[in-house]
Amino acid sequence: MIKVLIVEDESLIAKNLQRMLKELAPDVEVLAVTDTVKGTVKWLNSHPYPDLVFMDIQLGDGVSFDILKQVELDRPVIFTTAYDEYAIKAFKYNSLDYLLKPLDKADLKRALDKFRKLYQERSSQQPEINDLIAMFATGKKIPHKERFLVHHRSGYIPVHKDQISAFYKDQIIYLLAGDGQKYVTDYNTLDEIEELVDPAHFYRANRQTLICKEAVESLQKHYTGKVEVKVKGHDTPVDVSREKAQEFRHWIEGDLVQ
């Protein structure tokens, strides 16, 4: 059996992750679910280490990297995130993995497959985790893209990030400017763009849309719990799921740790 610890402060996401693990990997046993830095450190210090840890980045009393500073965890970690692109780039570079919220079965399967391949080499992952912790501790940042080339007539024009309202996918990837102009880009996925922009100013609202904070005009809470966001230049509201609604409001207010 593969023994797993889940570190997640959103109970719905934790339950959903457990359900999907049960469906995709019957050989996985979830030992516990912790929801704070303090509680996770206490659990790890009083139990044998699991084989694999799922860690949400943003917790109620800090960030999950605080756990790794206090505990010498020599086990692979799969991080879950919806906003911190610094982390996403670092995890990819360091051969760790991440799950984008809301959690997706295909993403989870990919992460589990990657874990199984790394399982026999898990002792070699600790130096990479230490590098990751050091990067966040020193505040080292990855440069963000300032301009994007988009198709215009028979050529290209640059669009500065301050002029962008959103990127969205409708078979291809479009850039939406604040004046309502829509431009075709050469990107294949929103994931590619998400790696390039500053997460303090761009948010992955859903799988089809990446919106700019400065372009948000209003929020409307739906009876289902989701949030409908009016974005400058966009004809229809952009939906943010109920699971991500609170996090999105924190992002708008600038409360999320970058």
pLDDT tens readout for residues 183-202: 999 988 888 888 888 888 99
Same domain, 108 and 169: no
Q: Which residues contact 34 (CB under 8 A, 6 or more apart)?
A: 5, 6, 7, 40, 43
List the CATH number of the domain containing 120: 3.40.50.2300
Mark which of 78, 107, 137 sits at the end of a domain: 137
Q: List C-alpha distances in Å: 31 to 24, 48, 54, 136, 148.
A: 17, 10, 12, 28, 46
Over 80: is that where the pLDDT of 162 sits? yes
What are the E-state strand segments in 82-131? 97-100
* DSSP H helices in 64-199: 65-70, 85-93, 105-118, 126-137, 190-194
Question: Which pLDDT belongs to residue 74?
Answer: 79
Residue 132 covered by a domain: yes
Phi-psi region of 255 (alpha: psi -120 to 50; beta: other; left: phi over 0): alpha
Instruction: Report residue 172 as tokens.
Output: 């291809």
Over 50: is that where the pLDDT of 14 sits? yes
Coil, strand or helix at 101:
coil
Same domain, 132 and 151: no
Same domain, 153 and 131: no
Among 90-94, 95-99, 135-139, 205-209, which stretch is predicted with the lowest mean pLDDT? Answer: 90-94
- What would the mean pLDDT of 211-231 be, rounded to a whole number? 91
Same domain, 63 and 97: yes
pLDDT band at 88 (very low <50, low <70, confident <90, very high): low
Residue 142 covered by a domain: no
- Contact predicate 88/81, CB 8 Å: yes
Specify the pairing of strand 2-7 against strand 28-34: parallel
Instruction: Report residue 72 as tokens.
Output: 């010498």
Q: Sign of the CA dihedral 51, 130, 247, 196?
A: negative
- Contact predicate 85/195, CB 8 Å: yes
- Contact predicate 14/33, CB 8 Å: yes
Over 80: is that where the pLDDT of 140 sits? no
Residue 258 covered by a domain: no
Mark which of 99, 115, 137 sits at the end of a domain: 137
Residue where the block lists tokens 């948010």: 203
> What is d(CA 118, CA 120) in angstroms, rounded to the nearest whole number?
6
List the CATH number of the domain containing 238: 2.40.50.1020
- What would the mean pLDDT of 198-219 be, rounded to a whole number? 91
- What would the mean pLDDT of 23-50 be, rounded to a whole number? 94
Average pLDDT, the chain: 82
User: Residue 191: which domain range?
Assistant: 147-253
Same domain, 81 and 174: no
Same domain, 133 and 154: no
Question: Which pLDDT belongs to residue 135?
Answer: 52
pLDDT band at 43 (very low <50, low <70, confident <90, very high): very high
> What is d(CA 159, CA 95) in angstroms, rounded to the nearest whole number?
33
Same domain, 8 and 101: yes
Question: Which pLDDT belongs to residue 188?
Answer: 85
The residue ranking higher by pLDDT, 139 or 40, is 40
Residue 171 covered by a domain: yes
pTM of the model: 0.48
Over 60: is that where the pLDDT of 123 sits? no
Same domain, 62 and 28: yes
